[in-house]
Amino acid sequence: MSTIISIADLAKHVGEEVTLRGWVYDSTGKGKLQFIKVRDGSGICQCVAFKPDLPEEVFAAAQKLSQESSLTITGMVKEDKRAPGYPGGYEVAIKTLTVISAAGEYPISPKEHGIEFLMDNRHLWLRSTRQWAIMRIRATIVSTIRNWLDDHGYLLVDTPILTPAAGESTSELFEVKYFDDMAYLAQTGQLYSEATILAHGKVYCFGPTFRSEKSKTRRHLAEFWMVEPEMAFFSLEALMDMEEQFVSAIVGRVLEKHRMELNILERDTSFLEKVSAPFPRINYDEAVVRLNKLYTESSDEEVKRLLRYDPANLPEGKTEGEYVRELRELLKMDWGNDFGSPHETALTQQFEKPVFVYHYPTAVKAFYMQPVEGRPESCRSVDLLAPEGYGEITGGSERIYDHDLLEQRIADYKLERKNYAWYLDLRRFGGVPHAGFGLGVERTVAWICGLQHIREAIPFARTMNRLYP
C-alpha cells in the first residue's frame, strides 16, 4: 500500500510510491508520454504516464482524461527541477490511475473568457490557479488579522448581524422582515463594540457587513467582511500608531508566506516590501491644498502618472490630449467634499507607503465622530489609503463620548432617539474617550494581490447586479 499524500508534501516523499487524490487540471499527450497536471487543493503536480511501463488499459485511461475529472493516481515521486506545478520541482511517474468521476465538457478552458461568464461560473472558476492563489492569500490575511489582535490584547466580541437601526448611514440599509417587524442587516458592528469596550477595554468584531450602496465600482461590494477594533482611552494618534503596526503585520505575513501565490498573480511586490511603520499622515485641509496644486501645476505627463493613466482605457473617439484634460478636472477639490477615487489615487501616488488622511469635514462622515476641538466643522476621523490606486482600506475615528453632544447629533441626523437609547447609555455610565476603525478585508485582499476589481477578492461576490451563484 502506498501512502496517500498531499501535493504540497511531495518533497518529503522523493523515491517513494505515493497516492495522490485530486482533479485533472490539464492533460497533454506526446507519443508514448501523457503529461497530466493534477491539482489537489494543496498544489499542482505533473504526473507522467509512460506507455512502455504501463498496462495498456492504464495508458489508455490516462489518454482519455477530461479536464476536471476526479481521480486517484499512484506512482513514484521524482525530483526534477524543471517539473512544472505549484510548488513544482517534483513529478510522479504513474503506476496506476483510477477515475472517480469523469467530468463532462468543462466550460472554463485556458482560453480567455469574459468576466460575466466567469462570474456566472464562479463556483467552477474558483478552481483555477489565479483564484486558488487569491483565496489562499485571503485566508492568511484573515488569520493574521485574528492572530495579531489576539496577541496584542484585543478580545474578540461578536456583534449582531440583525439590527434595529443604522450603524453608519440610513441610505444604504438592507431591510429584512423580522417577525412582525423590520430589521436591518448590519453595516458595521462598531456601535456594539463601543458597548463591549466598557466591559473589556480593547475589543474587535469581525464578520460580514452589508451595504445596499448603489455604486457599481471596482471597490464596492454589497456584502463584505470587516474587522473592527475598538479601544477605550484611545486617541486618533494612538489609533494611527496601532493601524500602521497592524497593516504592516498583515502585509509582512503575506510576503513571508505567499511568494508562490504572489508569483502566480504576477504581483510586483516592490511597494508591498516598503510597507512598514511609520506611514505618512496628512491633514484633510492639506490634502485639499495638495490636490488643487496638482490640478493647476502638474504637467500632462504628471497628470497621467497621478491618475495611473493606461492607454488601453482611452475612450473611443477621444484623443489622448482631450482625455488627459478630462482627467485633470478630476483632481480639482473643494473643501467640504469627500474624496472621489481619483483624488485618493492622486494623493497616494505621491507616497510609496499607505497614507493616513485625518480630520475630514464633519458633514461627510458618520454621526458619532468626535469634533476637532474649537473647529466643529472638522472631525477626529482618519482613513488609510493604500498605494497604487487602491485607496481607502480603513476608516476610523475618535467617538463622541459626551452624552448631550451625541444626543444632539442623533437628532441632527434625523435618527430615532429610541433606537439609540442604549448607545446613549454608554455615555451616561462611565463614558471615556475612545476610538476605533474598520478594515475592509476585500479591499485589503485586492490591494495586496494587485487585483483590478474587488469581485475576485471574495469567494462569492455580492454586487448591485449579482446574487448568483
Question: 299 to each of 319, 320, 328, 340, 463, how far by Cα in Å?
Answer: 17, 14, 10, 21, 37
Which of the choices ligand 4AD, Mg ion, none does residue 188 contact, using the CB cut-off of 5 to 8 A by kind? ligand 4AD
Q: What is the DSSP letter of 419?
A: G
Query: Cell triple for residue 208?
Result: 460580514
Q: How far apart are CA 451 and CA 460, in angstroms?
A: 15
Pick the closer one to ligand 4AD by CB: 211 or 359: 211
Site map (CB under 5 A) of Mg ion, residues 298-337, x = contact: ----------------------------------------
Which of the choices ligand 4AD, Mg ion, none does residue 342 contact, using the CB cut-off of 5 to 8 A by kind? none
**What would the DSSP string read from start to end of 180-213?**
TEEEEE-S-SHHHHHHHHHHHSEEEEEEEEE---
CB of 411 to ligand 4AD, least distance (A): 20
CB of 197 to Mg ion, least distance (A): 20
Pick the closer one to Mg ion by CB: 409 or 443: 443
* Contact positions vs ligand 4AD (CB under 6 A): 168, 188, 190, 211, 213, 220-221, 224, 226, 228, 392-396, 436-438, 440, 442-443
Which of the choices Mg ion, ligand 4AD, none does residue 440 contact, using the CB cut-off of 5 to 8 A by kind? ligand 4AD
Report the amino acid identity of residue 42. Answer: S
CB of 223 to Mg ion, least distance (A): 17
Pick the closer one to Mg ion by CB: 215 or 296: 215
Which of the choices Mg ion, ligand 4AD, none does residue 226 contact, using the CB cut-off of 5 to 8 A by kind? ligand 4AD
CB of 168 to Mg ion, least distance (A): 8
Pick the closer one to Mg ion by CB: 387 or 395: 395
Which of the choices ligand 4AD, Mg ion, none does residue 39 contact, using the CB cut-off of 5 to 8 A by kind? none
Which of the choices Mg ion, ligand 4AD, none does residue 443 contact, using the CB cut-off of 5 to 8 A by kind? ligand 4AD
Q: How far apart are CA 390 and CA 186, in angstroms?
A: 25
Q: Which residues pair with 257 in a beta bridge?
A: none
Give me Rg for the CA atoms of the chain.
26
CB of 306 to ligand 4AD, least distance (A): 22
CB of 228 to ligand 4AD, least distance (A): 4
Q: Three-state SS string across 21-39, please?
A: EEEEEEEEEECCEEEEEEE
Pick the closer one to Mg ion by CB: 43 or 391: 391
Pick the closer one to Mg ion by CB: 119 or 379: 379
Nearest residue to 219 (alpha-carbon basis) of 422, 382, 393: 393
Nearest residue to 336 (alpha-carbon basis) of 358, 359, 363: 363
Pick the closer one to Mg ion by CB: 95 or 218: 218
Q: Under rule CB under 5 A, how many of the chain's residues touch Mg ion?
A: 1
Angle at 355 between CA 457 and CA 170, to 5 degrees: 60
* CB 395, CB 438: distance < 8 Å: yes
Pick the closer one to ligand 4AD by CB: 97 or 366: 366
Which of the choices Mg ion, ligand 4AD, none does residue 436 contact, using the CB cut-off of 5 to 8 A by kind? ligand 4AD
Site map (CB under 5 A) of Mg ion, residues 359-398, x = contact: ------------------------------------x---
Which of the choices ligand 4AD, Mg ion, none does residue 438 contact, using the CB cut-off of 5 to 8 A by kind? ligand 4AD
Pick the closer one to Mg ion by CB: 189 or 395: 395
CB of 396 to Mg ion, least distance (A): 9
Q: Which residues contact 239 (CB under 8 A, 6 or more apart)?
A: 231, 382, 396, 398, 435, 436, 437
Pick the closer one to Mg ion by CB: 395 or 431: 395
Which of the choices Mg ion, ligand 4AD, none does residue 345 contact, using the CB cut-off of 5 to 8 A by kind? none
CB of 188 to Mg ion, least distance (A): 10
Pick the closer one to Mg ion by CB: 391 or 395: 395
Torsion angles phi and psi, residue 4, rounded to 5:
-80, 125
Query: Locate cell 467530468: which residue?
Result: 103
Question: 289 to each of 50, 174, 346, 373, how far by Cα in Å?
Answer: 69, 37, 13, 22
Which of the choices Mg ion, ligand 4AD, none does residue 220 contact, using the CB cut-off of 5 to 8 A by kind? ligand 4AD
Burial (Cβ within 10 Å: 0-12, 13-18, ≥19) of residue 380: buried
Angle at 362 between CA 360 and CA 363, to 5 degrees: 115
N- to C-terminal Cα separation, the chain: 41
Burial (Cβ within 10 Å: 0-12, 13-18, ≥19) of residue 171: exposed
Return residues touching Mg ion (CB under 5 A): 395
